[in-house]
């Protein structure tokens, strides 16, 4: 069916809002993003689908990730007139019981994450809340009230977990492609540029460049203009973009279509990691569907506007997330950055003016066009508007994706939404911005999250990775870890980055091995400062951040390593040993049982002893002891 107008979209919206909000049957939405699948969602889906194949009263369908990855597989069950309930950790063996439980009175309270107060997205304010007239279940919390979701505002992730990503109609039903068609019907490209500019949206890929200015500059330069979506999300532990591509691919396509129209481009590319096969698959499906609907391709919705999107998969080089390297790779050359003294908006891909944004940026665009620049700019801080998706990982209770308004404090993200540090450990630092971000210590936890503020404390927003670290994290080792990653991922063409990182890593490795010497810290600072200033691309200029911020905030840990030959966190094996605190040990023998080396001995209920000769510092005893009787010395 070719869609020609907003009216056509409204027709679909009407058709599909029933299945979305008022299904006659029981609808079982299984979170089928990579995180869910990894936790067993695919098997659960298969089990349910087979079980209810003949049962017309039960409909099994897939959605994307709703963010709370810790709780995957998440299964939402709903039916017209009853509350929507989100079950957590629904492994294949639990799926049928969960459906049964929903049908028969919700006795398995522990399986339930919560019930939904309002399933509408932020774009659907004008329709009635489908849950408005439904009586909620008692004694079951509302999802919106649990700490993980309470502070979140979902714009980029607005549809993730709410729709079937392989179903364009569901996207349309949730106001999808409305922005595109309204724009084609009513707006000049210049007006769109103004809107995006006024919204204050900044690139979510890491650089934070004002998107509207980028678009306008690109539109100003003559030549074959290109729109590229950077989906080469390479930071370890960060998967915001993957989640959007897997959960709501059309939002990205629509964002690119709007960009293409505003800038005057006919061709878009999505450069996506080959390690994201599901995202690629969903994108391929989405593109086919959009083309079938006449929303992508030639003469979109019967207008003069034509825009095509091709997918190109990257081969897993971190540096290909850098815009010029990405374009080189897209052209079929080696993915190495070049100097951006002539900006890519002037001469980028195939020498044409090229606009490159990342997935999250494009996903925000339809919402902004639909709701208006003022609405978007109303959120966030002076310099950073709107919301940002963070990937919350590390030593934190609630891992997952969160989308919060800019300006929210780190503390709120880590402690309220994230739930703080597990096992009563002490919080030490939070690392933002991926491998080339910085480590922010506790004293800055009240810092409002925006581009400027993070830069002021030596870190970066990056693409939204956020790694929490507790007392057991050695900051020297953290720096070493990131340097090791960057040593592998540096493209190698410029001296400061290639040779500099190599030497930084070398020095850090020495320090961790107990071979640090006086002057190492200063040398690291000297190297770091030079690499920042002299490197060719963003990878190099930000690479020393982990080292420099850890030195800045945790210099004492470096000094302990170098001068005292001690690793206070008990990570660098050459620099600590475990001892059993005789006073704290009550002789429960758990440690002795778990020790793979049989290094711990002692009579029951009496303090145990540890044979240092045998100990391999595997930390099993340390982690096992509930009485903090194993001490790091």
Partner 1 sequence: MITFKLNGKTVQGEEGQYILQVAEKYGVDIPTMCHHKALEPAGMCRLCTVELFDGRRSRFVTACNYPIWEGMEITTDSEAVHQGRKLIVELLLARCPDVPMLKKLAKEYGIEKPRFKTEGDDCILCGLCVRMCERMGNSAISLTGRGVEMKVDTPYHLQSDVCMACGACASVCPTGHITLEKINEIITRHKDVQPIPSEYDMGLNGRKPVYVPYAQAVPNTPAIDRDVCVHFKTGGCKVCTEFCGVDAIDHTMEDEIVELEVGSIILAPGFEPFDPSKFDSYNYANHPNVITSMEMERILSASGPTGGHLVRPSDHKEPKKIAWFQCVGSRDLNRCDNSYCSSVCCMYAIKESVIAKEHAGDDLECTIFYMDMRTHGKDFERFYNNAQEKGVRFVRSRVHTIDPVAGSDDLSVRYVTESGELQNETFDQVVLSIGLQTNPETVALAKKLDIELTEGNFCKTETFEPVETSQKGIYVCGAFQGPKDIPQSVIDASAAAGSAGAVLSAARNTRTLTPEVVPETNVFGERPRIGVFVCRCGINIAGVVDVPAVRDYAATLPYVEYFSDNLYSCAQDTQETMTQIIKQKNLNRVVVAACTPKTHEPLFQETLINAGLNKYLFEMCNIRNQDSWVHKNNPDMATEKAKDLVRMAVSKVALMQPLEEAELQVNQTAMIIGGGIAGMSAASTLAQHGYETHIVEKSDALGGQALNLFRTISGDDVQEKLSHLIADVDQNENIHVHLSTELKNVEGFVGSFKATLAADGKETELEHGVAVVATGASALKPREYHYGDDPRILTSLELDRKFMDKDPALKELKSAVFIQCVGSREPERPYCSKVCCTHSIDNALELKKTNPEMSVYILYRDIRTYGEREYIYREAREKGIIFVRYAVDNKPVLDLDNGEIKITVTDHVLGRPLEIATDLVTLASAVVPNKDEALANFFKVSLNDDGFFVEKHAKLGPSEFATDGVFLCGLAHYPKPIDESVVQGRAAASRAVTLLARETIHTSGTIAETVPMNCSSCAVCVSICPYSAPAFIEEGPFTGKAKINPVLCKGCGLCVASCRSGAIKLKGFDNDQIFAQIFAMNEAV
Beta strand spans in 308-423 (E): 308-314, 354-358, 387-394, 400-405
Read off the DSSP letter of residue 415. I
Phi, psi (deg, nearest 5) at residue 151: -85, 0
Q: Which residues contact 404 (CB under 8 A, 6 or more apart)?
A: 151, 152, 153, 387, 388, 390, 412, 413, 417, 449
- Where are the alpha helices (H) located in 372-432, listed in sequence order? 373-377, 410-411
Q: Which is nearer to partner 1, 117 or 502 (CB)?
A: 502
Q: If we measure between CA atoms, which residue out of 363, 371, 261, 301 comes closest to residue 7?
A: 301
- Which positions from 342 through 381 interact with partner 1, judged by CB under 8 A? 342
Q: Which is nearer to partner 1, 187 or 535 (CB)?
A: 535
Among residues 126, 339, 424, 443, the one that binds partner 1 under rule CB under 8 A: 339
Taking residue 549's Cβ as centre, other Cβ atoms within 10 Å add up to 25
Taking residue 128's Cβ as centre, other Cβ atoms within 10 Å add up to 10
Q: Which is nearer to partner 1, 108 or 343 (CB)?
A: 343
Q: Would you count residue 494 as binding partner 1 (CB under 8 A)?
A: yes
Q: Would you count residue 611 as binding partner 1 (CB under 8 A)?
A: no
- Contact code string over 224-263 relative to partner 1, x by CB under 8 A: ----------------------------------------
Q: How far is the CB of 487 from partner 1 (least distance, A)?
A: 6
Please give the span between the terminal C-alpha atoms of the chain, in angstroms, as a whole number: 71
By CB under 8 A, how many residues form the interface with partner 1?
A: 33
- The CA-based angle 431-436-440, given to 5 degrees, is 25
Q: Which is nearer to partner 1, 529 or 601 (CB)?
A: 529
- Contact code string over 286-325 relative to partner 1, x by CB under 8 A: -------------------------------x-x------
Part in contact with partner 1 (CB under 8 A); list of ranges 266-274, 356-364, 525-533, 598-606: 525-533
- Contact code string over 189-218 relative to partner 1, x by CB under 8 A: ------------------------------
* Residue 76 buriedness (CB in 10 A; 0-12 / 13-18 / 19+): buried
Q: Would you count residue 220 as binding partner 1 (CB under 8 A)?
A: no
Q: Which is nearer to partner 1, 291 or 510 (CB)?
A: 510
Q: Would you count residue 490 as binding partner 1 (CB under 8 A)?
A: yes
Concatenating the DSSP letter of every residue in 222-261 gives -S--EEEEEE---STT--HHHHHHHH-HHHHHHHHHHHHH
Distance from the Cα of residue 469 to its chain's centroid: 17
Q: Would you count residue 496 as binding partner 1 (CB under 8 A)?
A: yes
442 vs 410: CA distance, rounded Å? 9
36 vs 590: CA distance, rounded Å? 34
3-state secondary structure of 432: strand
Q: Would you count residue 82 as binding partner 1 (CB under 8 A)?
A: no
Part in contact with partner 1 (CB under 8 A); list of ranges 64-72, 469-477, 533-541, 593-601: 533-541
Among residues 503, 586, 609, 619, the one that binds partner 1 under rule CB under 8 A: 503
Q: Would you count residue 114 as binding partner 1 (CB under 8 A)?
A: no
Is the CB of residue 443 less than 8 Å from the CB of residue 428?
A: no
218 vs 226: CA distance, rounded Å? 9
- Which positions from 534 through 573 interact with partner 1, judged by CB under 8 A? 534-536
Q: How far is the CB of 338 from partner 1 (least distance, A)?
A: 8
Q: How far is the CB of 213 from partner 1 (least distance, A)?
A: 16
Q: Would you count residue 498 as binding partner 1 (CB under 8 A)?
A: yes
The DSSP element (H or E) to which 442 belongs, if any, is none
Kindly report whether the peptide bond that precedes residue 73 is cis, defined as omega within 30 degrees of 0.
Answer: yes
Q: Would you count residue 492 as binding partner 1 (CB under 8 A)?
A: yes
Q: Which two tokens stand for residue 307?
A: 């825009």
Among residues 334, 574, 584, 616, the one that binds partner 1 under rule CB under 8 A: 334
Part in contact with partner 1 (CB under 8 A); list of ranges 130-138, 265-273, 487-495, 617-625: 487-495
Is the CB of residue 127 less than 8 Å from the CB of residue 133?
A: no
Q: How far is the CB of 64 from partner 1 (least distance, A)?
A: 33
251 vs 363: CA distance, rounded Å? 5
Q: How far is the CB of 405 from partner 1 (least distance, A)?
A: 29
Q: How far is the CB of 22 from partner 1 (least distance, A)?
A: 54
* Residue 201 buriedness (CB in 10 A; 0-12 / 13-18 / 19+): buried
Read off the DSSP letter of residue 304. S
Taking residue 151's Cβ as centre, other Cβ atoms within 10 Å add up to 15
Q: How far is the CB of 383 from partner 1 (least distance, A)?
A: 16
Among residues 527, 547, 560, 591, the one that binds partner 1 under rule CB under 8 A: 527
Q: How far is the CB of 499 from partner 1 (least distance, A)?
A: 4
Among residues 82, 266, 338, 573, the one that binds partner 1 under rule CB under 8 A: 338
Q: How far is the CB of 316 from partner 1 (least distance, A)?
A: 11
Q: Which is nearer to partner 1, 268 or 434 (CB)?
A: 434
Interface residues toward partner 1, by CB under 8 A: 317, 319, 334, 336, 338-339, 341-342, 487-496, 498-503, 506, 523, 526-527, 530, 533-536
């Amino acid at each position: 069916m070719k869609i020609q107008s907003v009216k056509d979209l409204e027709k679909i919206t009407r058709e599909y809002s029933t299945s979305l909000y008022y299904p006659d049957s029981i609808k079982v939405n299984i979170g089928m993003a990579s995180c869910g699948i990894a936790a067993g969602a695919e098997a659960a889906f298969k089990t349910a689908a087979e079980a209810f194949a003949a049962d017309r009263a039960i409909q099994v369908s897939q959605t994307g990730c709703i963010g709370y990855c810790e709780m995957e597989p998440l299964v939402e069950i709903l039916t017209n007139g009853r509350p929507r309930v989100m079950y957590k950790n629904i492994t294949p063996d639990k799926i049928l019981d969960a459906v049964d439980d929903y049908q028969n009175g919700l006795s398995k309270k522990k399986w339930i994450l919560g019930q939904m107060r309002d399933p509408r997205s932020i774009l659907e304010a004008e329709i009635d809340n489908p849950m408005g007239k439904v009586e909620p279940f008692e004694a079951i919390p509302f999802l919106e009230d649990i700490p993980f979701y309470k502070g979140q505002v979902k714009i980029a992730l607005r549809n993730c977990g709410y729709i079937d990503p392989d179903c364009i109609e569901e996207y349309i039903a949730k106001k999808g492609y409305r922005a595109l068609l309204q724009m084609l019907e009513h707006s000049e490209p210049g007006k769109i540029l103004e809107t995006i500019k006024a919204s204050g949206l900044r690139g979510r890929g890491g650089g934070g460049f004002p998107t509207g200015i980028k678009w306008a500059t690109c539109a100003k330069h003559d030549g074959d203009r290109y729109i590229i979506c950077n989906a080469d999300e390479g930071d370890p532990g960060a998967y915001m973009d993957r989640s959007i591509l897997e959960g709501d691919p059309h939002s990205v396509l629509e964002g690119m279509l709007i960009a293409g129209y505003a800038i005057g481009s006919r061709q878009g590319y999505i450069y996506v990691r080959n390690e994201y096969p599901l995202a690629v698959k969903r994108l391929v499906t989405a593109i086919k569907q959009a083309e079938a609907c006449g929303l992508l391709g030639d003469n979109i919705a019967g207008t003069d506007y034509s825009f095509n999107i091709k997918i190109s998969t990257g081969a897993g080089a971190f540096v290909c997330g850098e815009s010029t390297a990405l374009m080189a790779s897209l052209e079929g050359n080696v993915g190495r950055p070049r100097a951006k003294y002539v900006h890519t908006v002037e001469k980028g891909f195939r020498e044409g003016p090229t606009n490159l944004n990342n997935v999250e940026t494009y996903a925000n665009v339809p919402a902004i066009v639909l709701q208006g620049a003022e609405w978007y700019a109303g959120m966030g801080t002076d310099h950073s508007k709107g919301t940002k998706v963070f990937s919350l990982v590390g030593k934190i209770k609630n891992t997952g994706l969160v989308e919060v308004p800019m300006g929210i404090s780190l503390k709120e993200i880590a402690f309220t939404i994230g739930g703080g540090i597990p096992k009563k450990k002490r919080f030490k630092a939070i690392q933002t911005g991926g491998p080339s971000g910085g480590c922010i210590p506790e004293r800055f936890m009240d810092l409002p999250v925006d581009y400027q503020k993070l830069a002021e404390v030596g870190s970066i927003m990056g693409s939204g990775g956020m790694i929490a670290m507790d007392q057991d994290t050695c900051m020297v080792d953290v720096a070493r870890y990131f340097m090791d990653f960057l040593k592998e991922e540096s493209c190698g063409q410029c001296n400061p980055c290639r040779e500099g990182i190599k030497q930084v890593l070398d020095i850090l490795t020495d320090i961790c091995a107990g071979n640090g010497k006086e002057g190492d810290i200063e040398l690291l600072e000297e190297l770091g400062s030079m690499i920042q200033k002299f490197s060719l691309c963003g990878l190099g200029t930000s690479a020393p951040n982990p080292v420099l911020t850890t030195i800045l905030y945790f210099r004492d840990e470096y000094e302990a390593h170098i001068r005292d030959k001690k690793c206070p966190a008990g990570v660098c094996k050459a620099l600590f040993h475990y001892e059993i605190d005789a006073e704290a040990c009550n002789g429960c023998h758990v440690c002795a049982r778990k020790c793979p080396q049989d290094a711990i001995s002692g009579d029951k209920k009496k303090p145990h002893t540890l044979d240092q000769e045998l100990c391999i510092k595997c930390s099993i005893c340390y982690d096992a002891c509930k009485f903090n009787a194993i001490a790091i010395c």
